[in-house]
Each structure stands twice: as C-alpha cells, then as structure tokens.
Structure 1
Amino acid sequence: MTDTVNMFESFDGQQLAWREMGQGRPLVLIHGFFSDAQTNWIKYGTAEKLAAAGFRVIMPDLRAHGQSARPHDAAAYPPDALARDAEALIAHLGLTDYDLGGYSLGARTTVRVLARGVAPRPRRVVLSGLGDEGVTDTGRRTGFFRSVLTGFGSFVRGDREFMSQAFLKTTGGDPVALLGILDTFVDTPPQALAGFDLPVLVVAGVEDDEVGSFTGLVAMLPDARFVEIPGNHMSAVTRPELADAILPFLTG
C-alpha cells in the first residue's frame, strides 16, 4: 500500500503538500511540530493500519514542514495559520462527512479548527499527544522551542534541547521557517472546549509529561474518553498501540 503526494494552494497562496493512503471514509490527520506526514503517520505504520480498516487517510504537511512551503517572511505566519491551512485543505477536497485528528501540534490545530467553526463539523475527533496546557496555555513551551531553533546545532547530549534538535535533524527541518510557526499559536479557553459536543478521543503515552494533563483535557470536553498507550511524547507516536487506540473509536 503506497501513499501519494499532492499540492494545494492555501488561504494565502502558499503551496502545501498532503499525502493520502487508502480508500473509504475520509480521515484527516495532522502531524506534530518539527515532524511531517511521512514521519508521524506513515513511517511507523499508523496510516497503513487505518487505511487497511477502510479509511482514506489524508495527511497534510503543515506549512514550514515536510514538502510544504517554508516561507521566511513573518507575514506568512499569522495567528491560526495552521488551522486556516487545514480549513483550506478540507475545502479543497470538498470534505463534508469526515473525521479529524492530530498529534501534538496537529491535535492543537484540530482544536483550533473546531473552535473557529469555519470548516464543516467532523463526525469524530482524535486528539493525541495533547494535554490541557497544550490547549489553554500555548505559550508555556514556546520559549523552549525558540531556544531549540535559535541555537540549532549548538546543543550537546545532556542539554534539554538535544533530543528536539536531534529529531529536527532527522526530518530536515528549516529552523528559520519553524520559528514563524511559534507566532501562529492561539490559546483555546475552557469555555470554548465545553462547546465541543462531539465524540473526542484523547490518547497519549503513559510517560508523556510535556503538554499538561490529559485527564484535565478530557474533563473540559463534554464527550471525551482517554486511552493511555506506551511511550513518552516523542515515542508514543511510533507505537502500534496508537492506531490500535484510534481504530475502535472511529469504527465503534
């Protein structure tokens, strides 16, 4: 089973990439910061497992990531740019009956799509690798990522930035473009989350302590359930248990 790469024009003319795998019910999955669709969803078999179960898995590369445009102009990174990109892809594909989800920054982007209410409402939502602080206090870790990107290449094993630097090297990321992403972050208040009256799955690694409380996020959502899988914030996305948690939620 192979994936294809396509391009579309987003809300501001930027050329963004998306991959697809499988046929059936549309499922849009958005990757995390510093990553891309290939690394997040395809490399470790998550997309293939979902596609084999009857889903058309649609996986964009966020702007400044993967095969999408990597502009260095600050004007290319307005608030909520990533949610607007997702809305543009959903509109481009003409999706009206679909499921939506993401990992880490991709899950936060999913939250912003719901909060904005511009795109057609998905049937079900998957928020993986995202806790309450990652939604309501997006600035908490911005300083850390700014340090990784501005000091890229200078960190050595033992530095707290080292693992993020190493990951960014493996994905071939552009530190200048990725700095712009930090300016797109928008907090979503608890009262907005309380209006998400659709089924939500929150799934995360049992050792993930980077994005706040997962049960805290579940408590703010009117129809959410929580599944723990092995791993931490960086490793849980590589686990087969991620697809194993998502599938029964989407097919149940």
Structure 2
Amino acid sequence: MNDTARHETIRSFDGVELTIHRLGAGRPVLLLHGLFSDATMNWMKFGHAQALADAGFEAIMPDLRAHGQSGAPHDPAHYPPDVLMLDALAVVEALGLDQYDLVGFSLGARTAVRAVIGGLRPRRLVLAGMGLEGLAGWNDRAAFFIDAIDRFDSVKHGDPAFYSVAFMKSQKIDRKAARLLLQSVGDTAPKDLAALTMPTLVLCGDEDRDNGSPDALAEALPNASHATVPGTHMGSVTKPHLGRALVDYLKG
C-alpha cells in the first residue's frame, strides 16, 4: 500500500521555517536524514517510510535546515552551535510528540545524539550510518565537506570529493547555507554518550565505515545493540533492508 505523504511547516526557535513530511498513522517515529539529502531521498524514495507506515507507525520526516524544502538562510546568525539539535527540539515541541521513537541516518544520527544529550527522551533510538569516530571526530569529517564546497567547480572524477559534489549537484544544495551549517556542528565527546540510556540500535551497512566503527559506538553506549544491513554508506539507503530493520527493531 502506497500512502500519500502530508506536508506542513513549523517555525523553529529562530523563526526559520522547517518543512515536515508525514506518512502513516500510529506511534510517531521522528526520522532525521543525512547530509545533503532530504526526507524524500533518505526515507520516502526507497520505501523506508512506507514500511514504517504499513507496520502501524507514523513517519515524521523534517527536511533539515539548509536542506530540501526547509529554510536555507545565508545569515550566519541562523547557524549557532548545535543548530540542528535546536531544530530537533523545536520539531518535537511544535508537534507535541510524546511516546515517540527517534531515528537518524549519518548527520541525522549525529543530530539525534545531540538532541538526546540536549533533553529529548525517545522511547527507542536508532543511529544509522554512524560509528564512534563520526561523533567524536566530526570536525575532520566536516572539514572534508567544507573543502568539497570550496572546490565545487574544480572537482573532477577521481578526486576524493567527486561523489560528494555530484550528490550536492543532484540535490541542488544551497552551498552557502550548507557551508554555514557544517560550521555549526561540533564533536561529541564519548563521555557525553552516557545520556543515551534508552534502548538503542546502531544500524550500518555491512560495507559502511564512512563514520567509523559502529561496533565501537554500540559498545560506548549504555544500552545498545549493533545490526547490519547490506550496502555501503550511500548504498544502504537504496535497499529495502534498511526499512525492514527499522520496523523489526521499533516493533520490539
């Protein structure tokens, strides 16, 4: 069954509009997409949101700031430290979410971690496409993407940044806004992970180590397990196994 997504906007803490896509009915699952992606690409295009809806959940999928249909301001004042965490808190408050689950992929997983440290208390948590080094060593990862933005027009095939630039082009990313956003994101110290006391699944492609070791992340969390799905970092999103794994874990 293919449902039609509903769309709405909220104003975040600083007035920037965030677009939220909703699919299904039931216990809410807040899904945070990855860098340079959006809710459609990460969750809807390959059926993951539909799998959740078919299993009796409501998939709630914001486009992150500077992504998709959400606001992408060019004023640095709209990118304070941890701005994506502040946006996640604003979404939960604006929608009055209670007894919800929280899922993040890559940058979305990092945002979910920051949001729990910042006070969110989901029933269950899924950190997909993330390893321990992707949290504690985020500044190095961000530097790679900032460099890709700065060299955007000169990156050729064979350059380590080629596929990132190609994805930005396909997603029509606002590079100025994306650069400001990347500068607002900081590292998460392993000691801060003690706040993640809820049951947590670290879920990665079996060929995905883009953000470090998922095993090390699961071991660093108070109440976590680790599972794999087929694929690389980007490839795992294109396969139905990701949605099935989310349903299996969240229905448990």
* TM-score (ref. length: structure 2): 0.97
Corresponding residue of 1:27 = 29
The answer to whether the 8 Å contact 2:33/2:64 transfers is yes
1:209 aligns with 209
Aligned residues, how many? 250
Corresponding residue for 1:116?
A: 118
1:104-150 CA-partner distances (Å, limit 9, x unpaired): 00000000001111x3x110001000100111121121221011111
2:26 corresponds to 1:55: no
Whole-Å separation in 1 of the counterparts to 2:57 and 2:153? 39
Aligned twin of 1:102:
104
Structure 2 stretches lacking a partner, 5+ long: none
Please list every run of at least 4 consecutive aligned residues from structure 1 whose deviation after the TM superposition is greater than 2 angstroms.
none
Matched letter for residue 14 of structure 1: V
SS of alignment partner, residue 209 of structure 1: coil
**Residue 172 of structure 1: CA displacement?**
1.1
1:133 and 1:140 in contact (8 A); partners too: no
User: What letter matches 2:28 in structure 1?
Assistant: P
Residues 87-166 of structure 1 aligned to structure 2 (within 5 Å): 87-117=89-119, 119=120, 121-166=121-166
Query: Which string of whole-angstrom CA distances, capped at 9 and with x for unpartnered residues, describes residues 35-55 of structure 1?
Result: 000000000111011111001
How far, CA to CA, are the matches of 1:115 and 1:229 in structure 2?
27
What SS is found at the alignment partner of 2:21? strand
Please say which of residues 187-196 and 173-182 is displaced more in the overlay: 187-196
RMSD over equivalenced CA pairs, Å: 1.0
Partner of 2:69: 67
One-letter code aligned to 1:57: A
Q: 5+ unaligned residues in a row in structure 1: which ranges?
A: none
Deviation at 1:97, TM superposition (A): 1.1
Determine the C-alpha separation between the residues in 1 that align with 2:195 and 2:146.
32
2:238 aligned residue:
238
Tell whether the 8 Å contact from 1:115 to 1:188 is kept in structure 2 after alignment: no
